[in-house]
Amino acid sequence: MSSESSKSPDAAIYSEFQLMEYVGASAERSLKAETSRVVDMDAEIRPTHISHLALATNNFDAVAGWWQTVLNMKPSLDADGMRFMTFDSEHHKVVVFEVDGLTSRTQGRPEVCGMHHIAFTYASFSDLAATYLRLKARDILPYRAISHGTSFAVDYYDPDFNACELQCSCFPDATDERAALNEWLRTGAFNRNPIGVNFDMDEAIRAYEAGIDEREIVSPYRMRIGDHTSEELSAGKMAPEKPA
């Protein structure tokens, strides 16, 4: 796999608000909290999984086509003015339906209340990288790539500026992923920076192609603990060093 680094035109719009206001305030609050941890569930009745995402649009072909392409989904159920699609055993994972008269957004709006984003997990960094390159070849680019410490992710906007995160685990092949995550959380790194650190996905892919183990590439221990996400950290600072 090979590629050249590029940025989404919406990155600056999103970063100005997200990085300068939200990140600082969130970290300040989280530092006052107890050390984060992944908890064990009790016996109360809960949902087993998220069934589907439903999106209303006045730009049906573009939005439905985008989600079908990005997630490599297949249409499943048929209905006029609607597209039901799936990538797993669920009869539909995403449905897009056409509604006339809706107001269109012209950019990402993180300062507006509502669902912020939805995330989908890949089995490995190599699968995530292959997906990133497949989409890049079709001029579908993320507005940011970010390691949260809990997950390693690339974030996209669809044509209606709904945010979609594609991610893989920061603890691949761990015998007990929950235990590995809790061990990292006990360092306090998440509380110091609950959002994460931007990285360059093309640099990460080049490191992987150069033979760096994906566990090193996605490791949260490579994050600069205490540093907040910033434009200064987006130019390959998270990429592993290339072998001599």
Q: What is the pLDDT of residue 4?
A: 41
Could you give the angle at the alpha carbon of 209 between the alpha carbons of 203 and 212, nearest 5°?
85
Contact between 15 and 8 under an 8 Å Cβ cutoff? The reply is: no
Residue 243 has pLDDT above 80, yes or no: no
List the single range of 37-41, 48-52, 222-226, 238-242 with lowest mean pLDDT: 238-242
In this prediction, residues 52-70 reach a mean pLDDT of 96
Where are the chain's structural domains?
11-37+116-233
* 236: region left, alpha or beta (phi > 0 left; psi from -120 to 50 alpha): left
Q: What is the pLDDT of residue 12?
A: 36
Percentage of residues of the chain with pLDDT beyond 90: 52
DSSP 90: S
* pTM for the structure as a whole: 0.77
